[in-house]
Amino acid sequence: MTHGRPPRTGAARGFAVVALALALVAATSARAHGPEIGAPGEPAAVDRTVEIVMRDTRYEPARLTVTAGETVRFEVVNRGELVHEFNIAAPAMHAEHQAEMQALMRDGHLTATGLDAHGEHDHPNSLLLAPGAGGELIWTFPDHADVELEFACNVPGHYEAGMVGAVHLRGS
Ligand SMILES: [Cu+2]
């Protein structure tokens, strides 16, 4: 009885390896959908300024390349006739935010051209701009490149109309 393993040890070890692999998958997807999309940046830390023009219903430029860890000052202007948003997030977060925006519109706080004083839209990763308005957003991107990010407008119908652009995160 001092040598030879019970027959189930190998299977148990295999199960442990699978469990570890699943834990890693869970950690990776939590990162993609969790807070690791970056964070609001400090003005003193800005590496670069990028101008974004919003039109009905697209962005210029339509995609961005950013170095991991970079702090970017986005100067955003709405040249369209509709209200638009510039929001940096993972795709699943945009989907959630679209539901919030739909509720604002259903309650009458958000219209095609603006947000009223009672409509709450306070998100550090987003600018919501009326026609003709401009704004600034400073964002520090994650220090790794393994997250999928998009900049998008979650005003109802706009994302579906193509108002979304990919953020290509380059390893630093
Ligand atoms: Cu829009």
Q: Could you report the per-residue pLDDT of 130-163, keeping only the tens digit for each?
A: 999 999 999 999 999 889 999 999 999 999 999 9
Within a domain: residue 34? no
In this prediction, residue 156 carries a pLDDT of: 97
141 C-alpha to ligand 1 centroid (Å): 23
Within a domain: residue 22? no
Q: What is the mean pLDDT of residues 56-71?
A: 97
Domains held by the chain: number: 1
In this prediction, residue 164 carries a pLDDT of: 98
State the Cα–Cα distance between residues 72 and 88, nearest whole angstrom: 12
**Cα-trace Rg, the chain:** 21
Residue written as token pair 């539901």: 99
153 C-alpha to ligand 1 centroid (Å): 5
93 C-alpha to ligand 1 centroid (Å): 16
Smallest Cα–Cα separation from 80: which of 168, 137, 161?
161
Within a domain: residue 137? yes
106 C-alpha to ligand 1 centroid (Å): 17
Residue written as token pair 């790794």: 144
Within a domain: residue 125? yes
Residue 59's domain comprises 39-170
68 C-alpha to ligand 1 centroid (Å): 27
165 C-alpha to ligand 1 centroid (Å): 12
* Range list of β-strands (E), the chain: 39-40, 48-55, 58-60, 64-67, 71-78, 84-89, 126-129, 134-140, 149-152, 164-170
Within a domain: residue 1? no
27 C-alpha to ligand 1 centroid (Å): 32
The CATH number assigned to the domain holding 46 equals 2.60.40.420
Q: Could you report the per-residue pLDDT of 22-60, keeping only the tens digit for each?
A: 444 444 444 444 448 999 999 999 999 999 999 999 999
The two structure tokens encoding residue 165: 């652009």
84 C-alpha to ligand 1 centroid (Å): 4
2 C-alpha to ligand 1 centroid (Å): 71
State the Cα–Cα distance between residues 89 and 37, nearest whole angstrom: 6
Within a domain: residue 27? no
- The residues pairing with 110 across neighbouring beta strands, listed in sequence order, are 115
For residue 71, which amino acid is it?
A: T
Within a domain: residue 128? yes
55 C-alpha to ligand 1 centroid (Å): 8
11 C-alpha to ligand 1 centroid (Å): 54
HSE of 26 in the Cβ direction (CA atoms, 13 Å)?
A: 6
Within a domain: residue 95? yes
The two structure tokens encoding residue 138: 């400073």
* H or E element in which residue 21 lies: helix 9-33
- The residues pairing with 127 across neighbouring beta strands, listed in sequence order, are 86
In this prediction, residue 3 carries a pLDDT of: 54
